[in-house]
Amino acid sequence: TSFAKKFQTPQPRASINGGGGNSQGDSYLVPGATVATILMLGVLHARRLYDDKMTEEKREKGIELEFQPDVKATFLRLLPLRSMSRCWGYLTNMEIPVWLRPHIYKAWARAFHSNLEEAALPLDEYASLRDFFIRTLKEGSRPIDAGPQCLVSPVDGTVLRFGELKGAGAMIEQVKGFSYSVFSLLGASPFLPTSADGDVQEEHSESITTTEKSNKSWWRVSLASPKVWDPTSSRPKRGLFYCVVYLKPGDYHRIHSPADWNILLRRHFSGRLYPLNERATRTIRNLYIENERVILEGLWQEGFMALAAIGATNIGSIELFIEPELHTNRPRKKFLHSEPPEERVYGCEGVGRMLKKGDELGAFNMG
Amino acid sequence: STVVLVFQAPISKLHEDESSQEFRFCVRRGDRIRVGEALGRWHSS
């Protein structure tokens, strides 16, 4: 409005000596811009709430949203999301005055539905938003299911997908109409079962390397190994399963071990940092295999287990308590996004990092 | 942020169809879950 008024009724510039002719117009400029910005943010927020509501309604009706690439997703490719993420991390790591801390954290909790009563420390003891974000919880806030035949959730979040992976080219559905390969997600793994029928229990107990296995064709194995009674054959077969859990900004962001687990290696893919919200999963191809991620692989009582912690724009770095020296979301040395993953084997001769069910193993950090 | 868990778990020895799996997820799509709550269970036969 201020701009419009200014252009419609041009007035002589106020001189140093004389003026004051346009001072009233200028005084409208800042409030006008502020009001326009607030209105714009309000409209965007309302639109987002409306979209979320519509999505929720569709989900309740059982209508599954399909993959649908759009212009915004293409535009995201052009943005320096990693730099923006690090900038966000820098800002959120700044120390907040003690008197202001409870107000900011309460506002955050209101906006993202966090439960502040679970926080282990009083709010004014979190020096920065980043510290608050990866806060620990009060003792007993997350009881661990102690059942011996149960796998527990490693994080707080929303279950997006789960199921069994079948066939040699096992695919995980990102959203209806688009899937990605588990091998692309985890990388070339010596432990990942490759058998199509899921009967891969020998992977656990025998030390046959992938190379050796690939050299033996199925008929050679069949002829060389006559059918004899084998005590291990009375054990149930094993299938390969997956579960995808999404963490909203207000969720507790520490990662725990889903079972008693021996982690044998860690793989770090330095990729992009797209957002991972519901809209992004519907519009960005290969979201999970393009984003920066840390893969932990190892063995548990039932065989193979891998956990992929995938970063996003606002929560870009992944911290491992079992390997504090690992730093993710660093400035890139190369422009290309297809760098090979950096891998570290924990220990040697199969001795890795032993974790008990429920042990903390890492956290997602801001920026 | 997102976590993808990939793991082996027991399935029935005789049949491999959905109904005879021994490992079963005890969550549904869209469920809220917290650390330590069961994702799935299995029963040894």
pLDDT digits (tens, 9 = 90+) for A213-260: 433 333 333 334 444 444 444 556 889 999 999 999 999 999 999 999
pLDDT mean over A338-367? 87
Q: Please report the pLDDT score of residue A251 as a whole number.
A: 95
Interface membership of B38 toward A (CB under 8 Å): yes
Q: How confident is the model at residue A16 (pLDDT cuts 50, 70, 90)?
A: very low
Q: Please report the pLDDT score of residue A64 as a whole number.
A: 76
The amino acid occupying position A309 is: A
Q: Please, are residues A257 and A359 in contact by the beta-carbon 8 Å criterion?
A: yes
Whether A306 sits inside 8 A of B6 (CB atoms) is yes
Q: How confident is the model at residue A24 (pLDDT cuts 50, 70, 90)?
A: low
Q: How many CB atoms sit inside 10 A of residue A5's CB?
A: 13
Each residue's pLDDT tens digit, A322-350: 999 999 998 876 655 567 899 999 877 66
Judge whether residue A129 has pLDDT over 80: yes
Q: Please report the pLDDT score of residue A221 as a whole number.
A: 36
Question: Can you tell me the distance from the alpha carbon of A26 to that of A40, in angstroms, rounded to the nearest whole number?
Answer: 21
Question: Can you tell me the distance from the alpha carbon of A46 to that of B44, in angstroms, rounded to the nearest whole number?
Answer: 51
Judge whether residue A208 has pLDDT over 90: no
Interface confidence (ipTM) of the complex: 0.86
Q: Chain-wide mean pLDDT for chain A? A: 81
Six-digit token pair at B41? 């269970």
Chain A residues within 8 A of B35 when measuring between CB atoms: 142, 144, 152-156, 252, 254, 256, 358
Residue B41: closest C-alpha in chain A: A150
Interface membership of B15 toward A (CB under 8 Å): no
pLDDT mean over A313-324? 93
Question: Can you tell me the distance from the alpha carbon of A367 to that of B3, in angstroms, rounded to the nearest whole number?
Answer: 17
Whether B5 sits inside 8 A of A310 (CB atoms) is no
Interface membership of A237 toward B (CB under 8 Å): yes
The pairs formed by A284-291 with CB atoms below 8 angstroms and a separation of 24 or more are: A284/A69, A284/A73, A284/A76, A285/A67, A285/A69, A285/A178, A286/A174, A286/A180, A286/A184, A287/A174, A288/A172, A288/A174, A288/A180, A288/A185, A288/B2, A288/B4, A289/A180, A289/A181, A289/A184, A289/A185, A290/A337
Whether A151 sits inside 8 A of B44 (CB atoms) is no
Each residue's pLDDT tens digit, A49-58: 887 788 778 7
Judge whether residue B42 has pLDDT over 80: yes
Judge whether residue A200 has pLDDT over 80: no
Question: Can you tell me the distance from the alpha carbon of A173 to that of A168, in angstroms, rounded to the nearest whole number?
Answer: 15
Interface membership of B19 toward A (CB under 8 Å): no
pLDDT mean over A78-89? 93
Please give the distance of CA B25 from its chain centroid, rounded to a whole number: 3
pLDDT mean over A82-99? 94
Q: Lowest-pLDDT range, A13-27, A111-125, A280-294, A325-339?
A: A13-27
Six-digit token pair at A189? 């793994």
Chain A residues within 8 A of B22 when measuring between CB atoms: 236
Six-digit token pair at A240? 């390969």
Of B29, B37, B45, Cβ closest to residue A236: B45
Each residue's pLDDT tens digit, A91-113: 999 999 999 999 999 999 999 99
Interface membership of A200 toward B (CB under 8 Å): yes
Whether B21 sits inside 8 A of A239 (CB atoms) is yes
Chain A residues within 8 A of B31 when measuring between CB atoms: 158-159
List CB contacts of A278: < 8 A, sequence separation 6 or more.
A55, A65, A246
Judge whether residue A59 has pLDDT over 80: no
pLDDT mean over A165-179? 85
Whether B21 sits inside 8 A of A149 (CB atoms) is no
Q: Determine the distance in angstroms separating the CA of B20 from the nearest CA of chain A, rounded to an integer.
A: 12
